[in-house]
Structure 1
Amino acid sequence: MPDTLLSAFDAHVTADPDAVALRSGDGAVHWTRREYAGRAVRLASAFSALGVRPGDTVALLVGNRPEWQLSDLAALMAGATPFSLYVTAPPPESAELVARAGARLLVADPDLLRAGHVPAGVPVVTVDELDRLPADPAFVPHEPDPDDVATLIFTSGTTGRPKGVELTHAAIVFQLRALDSVVGLEGGATVSYLPHAHIVDRVIGHYAALVGGTSVTTVADPATLFDVLRQVRPRLFTSVPRIWQRIERQMRDLLRDGAGQEQLAPRFGLDGAQWLITGSAPLPAPTHEFFASVGLPLHDLWGLSETTAVATYTGPGDAYRDRAGTVGRPLPGTAVRIDDDGEILVHGPHLARGYRGDPQATADSFVDGWFRTGDLGEWRGGFLRVTGRKKDLIVTAGGENISPSRIEDILAESSLVDQVLVVGDGRPFLVALVVPDFTELALHGLHGAPEQVVADPRTRTLLEAELDTANRKLGKAERVRAHAVLPRAWTGDSGELTPTLKLRRAAVERSHRAVVDELYADGGANRV
């Protein structure tokens, strides 16, 4: 039988049908592999009765609950390509993606469904109806080919219209086999708590069960994440810098209150973890150093949707001192090289087939078997260091080519900095827009409304000291000459962050154009 998501899962069902495959964090759902497979076949039959055929697409607007994994698997069994929508995205944006993907059906959580979510003519089934849908008596589960598209991942659209990344069964299976070679997945546990529209949750919170044989627990309420982690004690856990920094703050509080280092991992449900992963954005070095110091080293992974999440990794055996500042080595069975202009290129079986309905973008990005990532990098020994985004390069009035993300990463090493954006394209020097971490400022005695805290001279003094420290790590042309401290964080609702919390640089610059212009008009004087 061809090696696909369905054949891999079938092998696990046959090997140990009574092993737990999927459960909810509240314990209401607890399905064995046999039960999970049986429910998926029945739902696939219902999808077929609704007219879903091999080659169709099925859109999913469902949060972190088992019905999402079930619906996704059922769509695959019906021969369709399932894809997920961000539950926080504006309905018109979601409707556009549903239309572009040509969805034959939308499965939705009724609590998430809003007016404008569904283009005309697309039928909707709610998760509350799944058990009551009539079946197709003639249905036979589809047997996909490895090169069939298993999902679409729409890119975050930081610089333009989101592209639909087509990931095949073969690419996903290869990725999970590679991860399994780093830390054995069979019999382990993972959690699903990140957005399903992001490739990371699909890999860790769904495909790890189908291909790797893990048990997946869904986390419906982010506030209960640590409670669920204590129940599950996952073997593999991945998160983004913001959450790792939140855990760091809580752990530091526990240590100040007299807790021992040995108590930290069990307190957060991480005592069973063999591989703790950080990704999506650079993690400040002080946070890395803290976790290493308490015996919970975090490991960087780097990749994109087009590489099925992971292109390079650092494994459990890599000491932090040897890999600091890097994103590791190429995934087993793949290759990474740096092009003449510094762009990182990736080659391997885990690459996407291309972009749905966009042959020009596919031809531009996938060249002779290599994917042009758009990221810039350099080798440090056998480890890759990402230095910035090709499209984000700033060219100053003096002709200097500067990566703003490198500077932002250094500025963000300060615990007082929550968000930061460096500006300077076509300008004589660089300036920064800084959103402070108000929780950290409160530890320095700065309380009150954000506007009051930002206006307090002590805030200016503290942040100027932090920027001075950062500037000492930068070359002359990279130094930030002036900055403005802002009282409001950039959010997805304001259009300044993507659903994956990446900065939409142009949007931030537009909304703060007057502030930036004043910084330059003042010749580099700081503003609050």
Structure 2
Amino acid sequence: MRVVALDGSPAAVGVLVDALREALDGGPAVLPIAPGAAAPATVPEAPTGTAVAIATSGSTGEPKLVALSAAALRASATATATRLGGPARWLLALPAEHVAGVQVIIRALLAGAEPVVQDLRAGFRTVDFTTATEGLGSELRHTSLVPTQLGRILDEGGRAVEALRGYAAVLVGGAALPPALHDRATAAGVRVVTTYGMSETAGGCVYDGVPLDGVTVDLDADGRIRLGGPTVATGYLGQPAETSAAFVDGRFVTGDLGRWRDGRLEVLGRADDVIITGGEKVAPAAVERVLAAQPDVEAVCVVGLPDPEWGQIVAAAVVRGSTTDADWIEPLRTAVRAELGRAAVPRRWQAIAALPVRGIGKPDRAAVMRLVSKPDGDRHHIG
């Protein structure tokens, strides 16, 4: 196993690009390591055909190494090219140690040209995104972002948005895309494609709610999403029990709940996040979607808090826009009640300046729980 340490620089990504090229052609498997992270003292032996191992903590926080074969990576990249209209030049604006970053590199290599790499040593900066985009030239171009990055570009405006409009497709994944942000991007002329997937499926495998060619999606009796097809990982290195539990009959059993709506997969959030309040089940993602669609809501995270009477109560942390309406809670309560019913209406509300995030932009629910659990004196309301 070849370990490639990354530091956010294009030079380090260049080393990874060369290693991935060799791995796709049958060379040693590659393990990219995040900046500042220590390489594991030992790496379990990888199954034959493994090209990449991706470190992931999943929803449990327990570290795992996901084994992805060259065949799975190629299948994913080929299906993406087919869905997006053919080969294109790619900009890598994501951390290269994540599966989404690795897949940008794989797609670019299979399209015949290395990706243009944005320098991330100072974090994601819109000026660097604009400069890197100019390096793609006039060919058909694609990139992949997380919602936080998309929001920063739209907030910046000017040349940054002009650069974003120049992409034939902007894949957005890693976290749920708020409806208001999606609408802003569309209004700005940005061609957004929402993606759903994870390290265990070689990255995004459902685009705009529709599975890529060859990908299968089914729901078990509880609504849990199971993903199959050629992009599914081999398993977790050195963890046979975890592999057997998560990979069943050629499918990866996700921790997410979903439903089919108008022929498209709608992800309802993590099964572990479901709130049981007064005997009723409430999916936080469903409440978040309703709230995020309301005026003056820029971002929101919904969690469950322990409660002696109800078992749990629904709590919402809300990033508000520019208005100063003192009665901002009641319209939100009304919207949730009308769409999802009384049980889903949050009983605790708190306005915050920004959502805490982890990784490449996922809401940090544990941090949100701490915020909305603070004693009186912080801005919150129960009702």
TM norm. shorter chain > 0.5? yes
Structure 1 residues 92-140: Cα deviation after superposition (integer angstroms, max 9, x where no partner): xx33x6235369xxxxxxxxxxxxxxxxxxxxxxxxxxxxxxxxxxxxx
Larger radius of gyration: 1
Aligned-pair CA distance for 1:350: 0.6
Q: Is the 8 A contact 1:154 1:164 kept in 2?
A: yes
Contact in 1 for aligned 2:6/2:12 (Cα 8 Å): no
- In structure 1, what is the Cα distance between the partners aligned to 2:237 and 2:282? 33
Provide closer, same or farther for how the CA distance between residues 98 and 217 of structure 1 changes in structure 2, counting only shifts above 3 A: same
Is 1:420 aligned to residue 301 of structure 2? yes
Which residue does the alignment assign to 2:6?
61
Alignment of 1:264-275 (within 5 A): 268-275=162-169
SS at match of 1:211: helix
Identity of aligned residues (%): 29
Q: CA deviation at 1:512?
A: 5.1
Q: CA RMSD in A?
A: 3.2
- SS of the residue aligned with 2:111? coil
Do residues 84 (structure 1) and 32 (structure 2) align?
A: yes
TM superposition shift of 1:407: 1.2
* Structure 1 counterpart of 2:170, from 273, 276, 281: 276
CA-to-aligned-CA distance 1:442-484 (integer Å, 9 cap, x gap): xx4xxxxxxxxxxxxx464345544544544332111112312
1:47-446 equivalent positions in 2, closer than 5 A: 56-74=1-19, 77=22, 79-87=27-35, 91=36, 94-95=37-38, 98-99=40-41, 101=43, 147-186=48-87, 188-204=88-104, 206-221=105-120, 222-223=124-125, 224-232=128-136, 235-251=141-157, 268-314=162-208, 328-396=209-277, 398-414=278-294, 415-424=296-305, 428=310, 430-436=313-319, 440-441=321-322, 444=323
Q: What is the distance in 2 between the residues matched to 1:515 and 1:372?
A: 39
Q: 2: CA distance between counterparts of 1:401 and 1:425?
A: 14
Q: Please say if residues 155 and 163 of structure 1, whose CA atoms lie closer than 8 Å, have aligned partners that are also in contact.
A: yes
Q: 1:194 to 1:159 in 2, by over 3 A?
A: same
Structure 1 residues 420 and 381, CA gap change in structure 2 (3 angstroms): closer
Q: Write the deviation string for residues 383-431 of structure 1: whole angstroms up to 9, x where unpaired.
A: 11111211111112x2111111221233233554434232245662634
Aligned equivalents of 1:395, 1:433: Cα separation in 2? 15
Shift of 1:378: 1.0
Alignment CA distance shift 1:377-1:267 (3 Å): closer
Measure the CA separation in 1 of the matches of 2:68 and 2:317: 37
Please report how far the alpha carbon of residue 513 of structure 1 lies from its aligned counterpart in structure 2 after TM superposition. 3.5
**Cα distance, 1:517–1:468 mapped onto 2, change above 3 Å:** farther
Counterpart in 2 of 1:481?
347
The answer (yes or no) to whether the contact 1:151–1:166 under 8 Å persists in 2 is yes
Secondary structure of the residue aligned to 1:420 is strand
* TM-score, length basis structure 2: 0.84
Q: 1:194 to 1:459 in 2, by over 3 A?
A: farther
Higher fraction of helix: 1
Q: Could you say if the C-alpha distance between residues 344 and 276 of structure 1 is closer, same or farther in structure 2, counting changes exceeding 3 Å?
A: same
Are the equivalent residues in 2 in contact too, given 1:83–1:153 (CA < 8 A)? yes
Distance 1:218 1:237 in 2: 11
CA distance 1:515–1:214, change in 2 (3 Å):
farther
AA aligned opposite 1:408: E
Cα 1:518/1:199, change in 2 over 3 Å: same
CA contact (8 A) 2:173 2:204 kept: no
Paired positions, count: 370
Contact kept, 8 Å, 2:196 with 2:204, in 1: the verdict is yes
Query: Runs of 5+ in structure 1 lacking a partner?
Result: 1-55, 104-143, 255-263, 315-327, 445-457, 491-496
Unaligned runs of 5+ residues in structure 2 are none
CA deviation string 1:159-188 (max 9, x = no partner): 3212211111110011111112123554x3
1:412 aligned partner, one-letter code: A
Q: Tell me by how many angstroms 1:488 deviates.
A: 6.5
Determine which of 453, 461, 464 is the counterpart of 2:327. Answer: 461
When residues 59 and 303 of structure 1 are mapped into structure 2, their CA distance, relative to the original with a 3 A threshold, is same
CA distance in 2, matches of 1:463, 1:197: 40
* Alpha-carbon distance in structure 2 between the residues aligned to 1:460 and 1:194: 39
